[in-house]
């Protein structure tokens, strides 16, 4: 989320309307104009919606996502808290490399690998950081 911190709705087709249930849930969790990734995930789970659906509503409400669960963005005073892993677990590296698309690993794939290996999501992101693998795209559409 570099540069201008507004105009998120411009990423979506003109005239699109936010899902009212998601908009209400997001509105209740906004702190000024921000919402955490964990809150967005909780909304998706509780409303039986997808992360991209929730992310689109966040954009349409011109809200900013903070505290990425992978440590990639949204932390103060530093933007990113993710640090490279100190050791590489070969089995997890194989899983990561097996899910790469154009040299990148999606946020959703990080979450799935973390669940498969019973690891915190940030640990998988840290392995990606150590391996020089970019995580993209974000499930919420932030990057």
Domain-wise residue ranges, the chain? 8-66, 90-135
Listed in order, strand segments (DSSP E) in 2-96 are: 34-36, 64-66
Mean pLDDT by 10 residues, the chain (143 residues): 66 92 97 96 98 97 96 92 96 98 98 98 98 97 91
- Phi-psi domain of 66 (left: phi exceeds 0; alpha: psi -120 through 50; beta: other): beta
Identify the burial level of 87 via C-beta atoms within 10 angstroms of its C-beta, where 0-12 means exposed, 13-18 middle and 19 or more buried.
exposed
Q: What is the pTM of this model?
A: 0.90
| Amino acid 89: pLDDT | 95
CA 60/CA 85 separation, integer angstroms: 35
Q: CA geometry: angle at 63 spanning 57 and 68, to 5°?
A: 90
């Amino acid at each position: 989320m570099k540069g201008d911190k507004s105009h998120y709705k411009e990423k979506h087709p003109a005239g699109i309307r936010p899902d009212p249930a998601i908009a209400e849930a997001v509105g209740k969790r906004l702190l000024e104009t921000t919402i955490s990734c964990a809150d967005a995930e909780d909304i998706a789970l509780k409303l039986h919606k997808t992360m991209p659906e929730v992310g689109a509503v966040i954009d349409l409400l011109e809200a900013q996502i903070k505290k990425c669960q992978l440590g990639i963005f949204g932390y103060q005073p530093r933007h990113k808290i993710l640090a490279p892993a100190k050791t590489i677990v070969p089995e997890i590296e194989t899983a990561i490399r097996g899910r790469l698309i154009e040299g990148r690993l999606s946020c959703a794939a990080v979450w799935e690998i973390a669940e498969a290996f019973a690891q915190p999501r940030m640990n998988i992101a840290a392995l990606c950081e150590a391996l020089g693998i970019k995580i993209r795209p974000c499930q919420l559409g932030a990057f």
